[in-house]
Structure 1
Amino acid sequence: MRWGDEVKGLFKNSNLYLVIAFIIMGILFYSSSQTYEEQSQLGLLQRLLVDEPFKERLSGISFVYASEEVSIQARGYFSFIEFFIRKGAHFGTYFLLSTSWVIGLKPRINQLGLTVIVSWLAATGYAALDELHQMFTGGRSPLFQDIALDSIGALTAAVLCLVIIGWKSRKK
């Protein structure tokens, strides 16, 4: 079986990928309904990283995100590490959401470029709605920077899908 056939097979299960997209959106909605404290992984990080590995190397990193300094000096070691885990989750979740939309919508739209744009915009739009939802959750605040990060994760996935699917479809 050629790889192009595998890509076609992937689209035969497009309904599954739409279901996955909605599951991801449900998980994001639930997550946004939790307070920051309910989501905190500081206790787990303190148990897992008790020796504070790489603290010296990481101490030189400092930048501003949403008008707040992000550094070990400003936040402490464990909150600094958790910041990157949280932001990685933002990027990764919207990467998966956009990928699911592309694979789920491609057979319905049938134009790869338009599918990629619609998928990216759908994921970015949901990111904005998700941040809006956080306005109504105690202890949470919506951040434009998080929408931008989510959108970059979604765009990265959409462009990768465009390149991979486009390349494989031309190769047959």
Structure 2
Amino acid sequence: MNKKKTIVIGLVCLWMFLIFNFSSQPAEQTNQLSLKITQKIIDMNLLVLPDKVDPDVYLLLANRWIRKAAHFFLFMILGFLISQVLNVWVKNRFYTSIVSLIISAVYAVSDEYHQMLVPGRNAAWKDVFIDTTGAVLGILLSLLIIQVFKKRKLELSGHYGGSHGNIRHKQ
């Protein structure tokens, strides 16, 4: 196995472990961590407190939103990484996208099941949907990056359109 394949597989495994580790935290521990992060975001004025809203209520609402955004982000990265791994071996982008989506969605379901086994945590189909939607965006970003690099490589080699290629432009 070459170095690139080893690195991308290692990154996927590391990211899955990170997700598993976050899901292993008891509800109180994960809630305290996300409340601290939310408070820091509010303190940095990245989220503005609307007028006539109780700051404590706002903190709880913002915290819920940030927790869901974290689900989305973690699985966006996972979808991206899985897509990159599969694209090392298989050049059919449609196939790699579908398989990446299936793997990500199955991992999202298993993550929610795992959370049912952790004190104070529960599973939610809504989170599976958020996770899978994040994975879809990650897969799309992966495809976009592959396409940009492929186009750039063709441009540098002189085999892609423009004034150096075979495509004529209208005057």
Q: Hey, what does 2:73 align to over in structure 1?
A: 92
Pairwise CA distance, 1:128: 0.5
Work out the CA distance in 1 between the residues paired with 2:98 and 2:139: 8
Higher alpha-carbon Rg: 2
Count residues in correspondence. Answer: 149
Task: Kindly provide the CA deviation profile for residues 109-141 of structure 1, in whole angstroms up to 9, marking residues without a partner as x.
Answer: 232221111112111110010001111111011
Report the TM-score, using the length of structure 1 for normalisation.
Answer: 0.74
Q: Using CA pairs below 8 Å that are at least 6 residues apart, which structure has the higher relative contact order?
A: 1
Q: Percent identity?
A: 26
Q: Hey, what does 2:111 align to over in structure 1?
A: 130
Task: Kindly provide the CA deviation profile for residues 44-102 of structure 1, in whole angstroms up to 9, marking residues without a partner as x.
Answer: 6457746986221695xxxxxxxxxxxx79x8122212112211111111111111111
Q: 1:13 to 1:139 in 2, by over 3 A?
A: same
Ranges in structure 2 where 5+ consecutive residues have no aligned partner: 155-171
Work out the CA distance in 2 between the residues paired with 1:139 and 1:132: 13
Work out the CA distance in 2 between the residues paired with 1:82 and 1:14: 38
Q: Hey, what does 1:25 align to over in structure 2?
A: 16
CA RMSD in angstroms comes to 2.9
Q: Hey, what does 2:168 align to over in structure 1?
A: none
Q: Hey, what does 1:144 align to over in structure 2?
A: 125
Pairwise CA distance, 1:104: 1.4
The answer to whether the Cα contact below 8 Å between 1:15 and 1:104 also exists between their aligned partners in 2 is no
Ranges in structure 1 where 5+ consecutive residues have no aligned partner: 1-10, 60-71
Select 2:101's aligned residue among 120, 123, 133. Answer: 120
